[in-house]
Amino acid sequence: MSRARAVTAFLALLLTAGLLGLVPAVAAADTAPIATAAPGQPAGAADGNALTTPPTPDTPPAGHKLTSVQVQAIADRQPNIIAMKKQYIGAYPGIFLKGRQRWQVSYYAKSKPLKEVGQVTIEDATGKVTESYTGFKVAWSMARGYAGAFGRKVNSPWVWLPMTLLFLAPFLGPRRGWRPTWLMLDVCVLAAFGISVAYFNDAQIDVSVPLAYPLLTYLLVRMLWIGLGTRPERDRRGPLPTAVPVTWLAIGLVFLVGFRVGLNITSSNVIDVGYSGVIGADKLIHSDKLYGDWPKDNEHGDTYGPVTYAAYVPFRAVLGWSGRWDDLPAAHGAAIAFDLLAMLLLFLLGRMVRGPSLGVLLAYAWAAFPFSMYALMCNSNDSLVAVFLVAALLAAAHPARRGAMAALGGLTKFATLAVAPLLATHALGGPQGADRLGARARTLLVFCLAFAGMAIVALYPVIAHHQSPSLVYDRTLGFQTSRGSPFSIWGLYDLPGLQHAWQGVAVLLAVGLAAAPRREDIAGLAACAGAIVIALQGGVTHWFYLYIVWFFPLVIVASLARGGEERPAAPAPAHDGGLVGAPVVTAA
């Protein structure tokens, strides 16, 4: 067995072992009591956050010391509540018992629909105010800096900082002569998003949000520079730009995989995104309508494409679901599988481009990148987006496969449909001529037919239930475009005009890059796709760190695969499904 096949088999074995390793955790989850819900999880049964109305305002409820009148007086004295009342004249309170030993005072503006503009939590035993919020922190509990709300222990400096150093280590060091390079700057910018996360965890949203945009801007410009550039002589194949031997990276990859899977099983939480995947999978298993009529504790969980929910079906079928937002073993299993699959595909892509060494480096980069681990520890579905984008790069030489991957990716999270025109026109450049034009037309037709066929298959659960396109739009893109959020500069500073202008630029970029002369190798395709994804993310109202893994593999491939990976070859026969004018891959 060759070394490349051995590594591939080993990674496949890790995927199987990771899923089997969940079996003990599943058995424990079936019998363990439900823990207190983290922020973003449902209030209610046994989570200590259920709200009830006290029977009388001037008498302490049974088992309590304070009365509603006393609680309101305490809340009214908070400085931020005093300031809020000056802004919202006539704001009135609603007083609730929160769990067994706390009170919550919610202030509502006199408006339609009803809007909560202030919230104070008070301990009954001491009368101490434990939380007091106004502004966007009332509606967005994720902006309050609750410890471990996203990913639990991955946010610890003892985890995040070592992971960052491990990620940077192959690209920074004396073996490279300490001479600054663009690659070094690229990986440093990717790691620098961690600074924004630190402020987010400290509830300083006014700092964390603006910090992300210069980094996104740099990556956008950098991807355009690579994608629209030519292939100079110095871009030809050379030694991998690593500061440590690839063998060390392979050993590190093994340990990182074990660490990530183990930490997911022992210390991670399932946010609403993972919960949505399990609910959707359950609906598919029971042949229920996919869109509309979702549980109240995840009312808008049907905001994704049908492929997202289909990807959770095997895990829901094998690992089960209690019907509640508990530990959700199926979500853990899916997140681990998506993570390992992303690593495997990156390895295969690197091997295709220039041999197993680049494959190991790409897989290691994913495994050491703190934000891919962040997505894994949140048990979200975002790594699945990366899986289909990398799969599209692997299928670059085959228009039918490329079209199928474009459809699957776009029907996972709809924003990535913007990459479809770029994939459709990949490698259609070159000399003019009747034969050449005919070959281009056939290639484009094959892509479109494969895209349409796969889209019909993916949308079958929607078509079978005769769910209207307007309903699907309202529940997905309609909901996403209409929601407010403080996690972007547009929502934080209320800049709708500038936001719409940038969204127009992003759309023009997606169309323009599909038609523009550009690099026709894997590095160029990855760079242009990365630019489109980053530009679209830059225009959304609700942006979050989980989205970084959408473009991370595209950025890292574009930065590392520029070493003269492919050489142009003669056109492939049309009947073979090959892409006319596609590069023939050579492996190191």
Six-digit token pair at 130? Answer: 């434990």
**What are the tens digits of pLDDT across the range 322-376?**
999 999 999 999 999 999 999 999 999 999 998 999 999 999 999 999 999 999 9
Angle at 117 between CA 113 and CA 119, to 5 degrees: 125
Tokens of 379: 């048990």
Question: Where do the domains of the chain lie, and which CATH numbers do they carry?
Answer: 3-32+147-585 (no CATH), 51-143 (3.10.450)
The half-sphere exposure of 174 on its side-chain side, counting CA atoms within 13 A, is 0
Q: If you count them, how many residues does the chain have?
A: 588
Count the alpha carbons within 13 Å of 329 in the hemisphere toward its beta carbon: 24
pLDDT for the residue numbered 432: 52
Task: Give the tokens for residue 234.
Answer: 């110095």
Which of 1, 7, 21, 9 is closest to 364 using CA atoms? 7
Q: How far apart are CA 522 and CA 379, in angstroms?
A: 30
**pLDDT the model gives residue 41:** 39
459/471 Cα distance (integer angstroms): 14
Q: Could you tell me if 137 and 203 are in contact, meaning their C-beta atoms sit under 8 angstroms apart?
A: yes
Question: In what helix (H) or strand (E) does residue 479 lie, and over which residues does it extend?
Answer: helix 479-482
365/552 Cα distance (integer angstroms): 10
Degrees, nearest 5: CA angle 338-342-346: 170
Residues with pLDDT less than 50, the chain: 1-46, 232-235, 433, 564-588
From residue 291, give the alpha-carbon distance in Å to each of 129, 386, 457. Answer: 41, 24, 17
Q: How far apart are CA 111 and CA 538, in angstroms?
A: 32
Residue 122: what pLDDT? 94
The 10s digit of each residue's pLDDT in 264-319 is 999 899 999 999 999 999 999 999 999 998 999 999 999 999 999 999 999 999 99
pLDDT at 554: 97
| Residue 175 near residue 518, CB atoms below 8 Å | no
Give the HSE-up count for residue 233: Cα atoms under 13 Å, Cβ half-sphere: 0
User: Do residues 146 and 133 touch, judged by C-beta distance below 8 A?
Assistant: no
Per-residue pLDDT, 47: 52
DSSP 280-303: HHHHHHTT--SSS---GGGTT---
Q: What is the pLDDT of residue 48?
A: 67
Cβ neighbours for 284, distance < 8 A, ≥ 6 positions apart: 290, 309, 310, 313, 461
Nearest partner of 190 among 376, 378, 369, 374, judged by Cα = 369
Phi and psi torsions of 527, nearest 5° = -65, -45
Three-class DSSP category at 132: strand
Residue 526 near residue 393, CB atoms below 8 Å: yes
> CA 499 to CA 515: how far, in whole Å?
25
Give me the pLDDT at residue 100, please.
85
What's the token pair of residue 11?
A: 């990674």
How distant is the alpha carbon of residue 106 from its chain centre? 32
